[in-house]
Amino acid sequence: MGSGKSQASGEMPQAMQNIIKGFEEETRDLRGDLVSSFTEALSGNVPGAGIPIVARAEEASRRATATGLKETGTQLAQRGLAGTPFGEQILSQQRQTGLSATAGVAPQILQQMLQLATGYATGQASAVSGALGGTRETQSQAKSWQI
């Protein structure tokens, strides 16, 4: 992350070097996953493939669509509209809406996950940056107090 030097004293304290090293180790997997997710999204591959929460949400969306189609079919039949062009158009539109909703599940979940992960990573970086700034200021003040 740097040369280990600060402008205030010339050398970064070992404690700060340890904090930075810990931060790098703690976020290594997260940063790798972020890069992988961004690469996957940019390549146009199916996002979310193999992520259990995405698969469950997509399945729930499919079930909701199927339930809605069944209920709509029942209502159309009760009104004598089942099998008519009007009834088929309603079912077709509902089916298309369901397919679109299911197709949007993975991108929505991945976007939320990336926002959370990015916020976590940048929050950690801000904490380290703030600690470094505070240490430099403290070191500068301590130098002025020396007799």
Does any domain span residue 68? yes
Alpha-carbon distance of 103 to 85, in angstroms, equals 27
The b/e string for 97-125 (b: 16+ C-beta within 10 A; e otherwise) is ebeeebeebbeebbeebbeebeeebeeee
Does any domain span residue 41? yes
Alpha-carbon distance of 40 to 46, in angstroms, equals 8
Does any domain span residue 95? yes
Q: Which domain holds residue 24?
A: 14-110
Alpha-carbon distance of 107 to 41, in angstroms, equals 9
- Positions of the chain with pLDDT under 70: 1-10, 37-50, 117-147
Does any domain span residue 142? no
CB of 61 within 8 A of CB of 101? yes
CB of 37 within 8 A of CB of 114? yes
Does any domain span residue 50? yes
Q: How many domains does the chain have?
A: 1
Does any domain span residue 121? no
Q: Give the predicted TM-score (pTM) of the model.
A: 0.53
How much is the pLDDT for 145? 54
Give the residue carrying structure tokens 């992350």: 1
CB of 73 within 8 A of CB of 91? yes
How much is the pLDDT for 15? 79
Does any domain span residue 120? no
